[in-house]
Structure 1
Amino acid sequence: MFCGLSAFPLTPVNETGINEKAFVTLIQRLVAAGVDLIGALGSTGNYAYLNREERLRVLRLAVHSSEGIPVMTSISAIRTSEVLRLAEDAQRAGASAVLLAPVSYQALTNEEVYSLYEQVTSSLSIPLCVYDNPGTTHFHFSDELHGRIAELPNVRSIKIPGVSSDPEEANARISKLRKLIPSYVTIGVSGDPFAATGLNAGCEAWYSALGGLFPETCLRITRFALDGCADEANRLSTQLEPLWSLFRQYGSLRVVSAAAEISGLISSPSLPLPLQPLNQSAREHLKFILKDLQSTETFCSPFG
């Protein structure tokens, strides 16, 4: 489950509510492509903008539509008590795994973060993936802390930030972390522009925002890398550099939501306020970039 492509679909939501029909369509695309894991309610899934009831509704839709593909869902929240309630919801709704980042308003200490994972894993009956996302949480895991947390019950994967673009440095990074965690805990790379390098360096999984919208493209990169075809994986990733450039400038969520709208997979607006869509200039540039990408994907659009 924690190997291969874990695709994180957008949850289309605006001030009128969640577009459930479009969300199910996105899940069906992932099923048709044969992704290894569906990551519902990740950062791309707008979990932080949804209340508990909305998160549970989206998760149930994902599980119901997944046709047997495992579904992982975020249980991240500011208070531990809320995380525990979300974990219980996830288990009752049929999630196969949970994803947890140490989000907080106040800066957290290492011991506070360890205590969070210790409390959550003690009551879990399904696997947990540690989400190391300093760009959002502003908490920086040390490898030693990762090693301690990885020994806790039910911890089975670590979702790390993007690795160095230098292959030797990426290899060293993964090798160092690998020595400190159990062999049954996988390492998955996030930060889509760094995915090919991370997979080639020994990561077993790619936790992908783009994979939630263009799974076939991301599966090709993943399969090449995991099959030892590093040059081909790098070549395909390099072809996506114009898209990665937009990710770096505007953030993956805004770019993916605009791409889904342009592709006719969801209606507009698809982001919760105060988030704003791409400006018109960036949107026109994205339209041009998507022409080649769309030709390699199988589309199932409810909007035309």
Structure 2
Amino acid sequence: MTHPFTGLVAYPITPLMDDGELDLGALSHLVRNAVAAGVSGVTVLATSGAGVTFDRAERHAVVESAVEAAQERVAPGAPYVPVYAAISAPSTREVVSLAQDAERAGAAGVLLAPFSYLPLSDTEVRALFRDVAEVTALPICFYNKPVQTQFDVSPTTLAYLAANARVASVKDTMRRDDVAGRVSDLRDAVGPEFSIGLSADVQLLAERPDVDAWHSGLAGLLPGEYINVWRLARAGGQQGASLARLQTIAQALAGMPHPIGALHSLSNAIGVPTAGPRGPYAAASQEETWQLGSAFHG
């Protein structure tokens, strides 16, 4: 059995209609495209999917639709591509409810970034994950976002959560000085069966690290090209046009002040219509849209 949160995990946006309501048909299209391209998993409602801008019922609908879409494209006898659900919220009560909803909707695992209006202590973070583990049998991925949450999980705490709170994976950031040293420290703490994954498209595509998982928002929109890069990186093969194209687009996205709005703009460019994200996220400006279109069309 494949371990959860391994391989290339795609993070699609959550498309919206012009009135700001969910466009579940467009979301299903993105999920089907990712599955058909050969990604290892799909995560909805994380940063790229702007999950914290939706209420509980909407988040349940997103997970349910994504799970159904992922199963539609599975060949007879082939294993399902897992759909994971981000469940971050400001209170433990909300997080626990979202975890239960995700399991009921058919998610294969949940992704949790601990955040609040004040930075959380190590004791508080450990308690949060234990509380989630008590209400769901799903594996949990620790979504480590130290810049945004002001909490950088230590190897010791990650090992504790692996032993006591169903945490089977970490999604860490490549935006740090010594990524290789960080991965080594985490591996020493959690052992070989734990999935260590990295995110940040610019850095992933530049270094193509040898870890258990790549977590990518760009792969949620351009899965075919991203899977080519992932597979060649795993095989040690020479990269080609897909890498150069993705690097150009990733660099354009990284330079934009409204990254979620820019991803929505990129979705429109690839032919999956969506309105801009819900506030407080801003839509891409006309200039940003032009720059991104130029990068996409080459």
Q: Given the two structures, how large is their TM-score scaled by the length of structure 1?
A: 0.87
2:216 to 204, 208, 219: 208
Asked if 1 retains the 8 angstrom alpha-carbon contact of 2:129 and 2:165, the reply is no
Cα distance in 2 for residues equivalent to 1:247 and 1:225: 22
How far 1:136 moved relative to its partner?
A: 2.5
Cα distance in 2 for residues equivalent to 1:178 and 1:236: 30
Q: Which residue of 2 aligns with 1:287?
A: 293
2:276 to 250, 270, 279: 270
1:142 lines up with 2:154 in the alignment:
yes
Given residue 83 of structure 2, which amino acid in structure 1 is its aligned partner?
A: V
Q: Which residue of 1 aligns with 2:76?
A: none
Q: Which residue of 1 aligns with 2:28?
A: 24
Given residue 210 of structure 1, which amino acid in structure 2 is its aligned partner?
A: L
- 3-state SS of paired residue (2:190): coil
How far 1:143 moved relative to its partner?
A: 2.6
Asked if 2 retains the 8 angstrom alpha-carbon contact of 1:170 and 1:197, the reply is no
Matches within 5 A, 1:118-157: 118-157=130-169
Asked if 2 retains the 8 angstrom alpha-carbon contact of 1:160 and 1:190, the reply is yes
1:104-156, CA deviations, whole angstroms, 9 ceiling, x for partnerless residues? 11221111011111121133211111100123222222232222222224211
Q: Which residue of 1 aligns with 2:48?
A: 44
- Identify unmatched segments of 5+ residues in structure 1: 293-304
Q: Which residue of 2 aligns with 1:34?
A: 38
Asked if 1 retains the 8 angstrom alpha-carbon contact of 2:260 and 2:281, the reply is no
Matches within 5 A, 1:56-205: 56-67=60-71, 68-163=80-175, 169-196=178-205, 199-200=208-209, 202-205=210-213
Asked if 1 retains the 8 angstrom alpha-carbon contact of 2:41 and 2:81, the reply is yes
Asked if 1 retains the 8 angstrom alpha-carbon contact of 2:141 and 2:168, the reply is yes
Q: Which residue of 2 aligns with 1:300?
A: none
Q: Which residue of 2 aligns with 1:53?
A: 57
RMSD, aligned CA: 2.1
Asked if 1 retains the 8 angstrom alpha-carbon contact of 2:276 and 2:284, the reply is no
How far 1:196 moved relative to its partner?
A: 3.8
Further displaced range: 179-188 or 235-244 = 235-244
Q: Which residue of 2 aligns with 1:296?
A: none
Q: Which residue of 2 aligns with 1:301?
A: none
1:133–1:237 Cα change, 3 Å? farther
Q: Which residue of 2 aligns with 1:260?
A: 267
1:2–1:33 Cα change, 3 Å? same
1:6 lines up with 2:12 in the alignment:
no
Given residue 34 of structure 1, which amino acid in structure 2 is its aligned partner?
A: G
1:161-191, CA deviations, whole angstroms, 9 ceiling, x for partnerless residues? 11558xxx43222112111113211111111
- Identify unmatched segments of 5+ residues in structure 2: 72-79
Asked if 1 retains the 8 angstrom alpha-carbon contact of 2:169 and 2:196, the reply is yes
Alignment identity in percent? Answer: 29
How far 1:197 moved relative to its partner?
A: 5.5
- 3-state SS of paired residue (2:164): coil
Given residue 176 of structure 1, which amino acid in structure 2 is its aligned partner?
A: D
Cα distance in 2 for residues equivalent to 1:236 and 1:170: 24
1:8-49, CA deviations, whole angstroms, 9 ceiling, x for partnerless residues? 111013653111221111111112112110101111111110
Given residue 148 of structure 2, which amino acid in structure 1 is its aligned partner?
A: T
Cα distance in 2 for residues equivalent to 1:196 and 1:145: 29
Matches within 5 A, 1:232-271: 232=239, 237=243, 239-250=245-256, 252-267=259-274, 269-271=275-277
Asked if 2 retains the 8 angstrom alpha-carbon contact of 1:30 and 1:38, the reply is yes
How many equivalent residue pairs? Answer: 285
